Amino acid sequence: MSDDFQRKLQNELDSFKKVQKELQKAIQTRQQLDGQLNENEIVIQELNLLPSDGKVFKSVGPVLIKTELVEAKVNVKKRMDYITKELKRVDDLIASLEKKQDAHRESLQKLQHQFQQAQVKAALHA
């Protein structure tokens, strides 16, 4: 009986740890995306400061290529839209993982309580 409880407890603990790792990874991804979005917001602010005939260069590998200001703004805005969509997706994932984590935590607490009750009963009957 106690082996069964311990096995259930261990399985639940393993599942909890797995969800924790996934959650940490998702949080890291969100932080990276947030940083990228902030960088792109700064870039668009800088591009907006340029006169319409301002020169913009795009880095492609080791080479700088001249790009039209309008094209550069469009590209940065597209990138920001993509990052914003990814942030939404990752936020949804984080919320889902947090719910899973809470469910595993609750289950762990119940199993631990049941295990402790079983130990007390076994001690009283021994």
Query: For 105-109, what is the mean pLDDT?
Result: 91
CATH number at residue 74: 1.10.287.370
User: Tokens 């006169």 correspond to what residue?
Assistant: 51
Query: For 95-118, what is the mean pLDDT?
Result: 90
User: Tokens 């289950």 correspond to what residue?
Assistant: 107
- DSSP-derived 3-state class of residue 55: coil
The confidence score (pLDDT) of residue 3 equals 78
Query: For residue 1, is pLDDT > 60?
Result: no
Cα separation, 65 vs 70, whole angstroms: 15
**Which domain does 15 fall in, by range?**
2-125
Helix axes 69-125, 2-49, angle to 10 degrees: 160
Taking alpha carbons only, the member of 108, 100, 82 closest to residue 22 is: 100
Cβ pair 101, 27 in contact under 8 A:
no
Report pLDDT digits (tens) over 65-99.
999 999 999 999 999 999 999 999 999 999 999 99
Q: What's the domain count of the chain?
A: 1
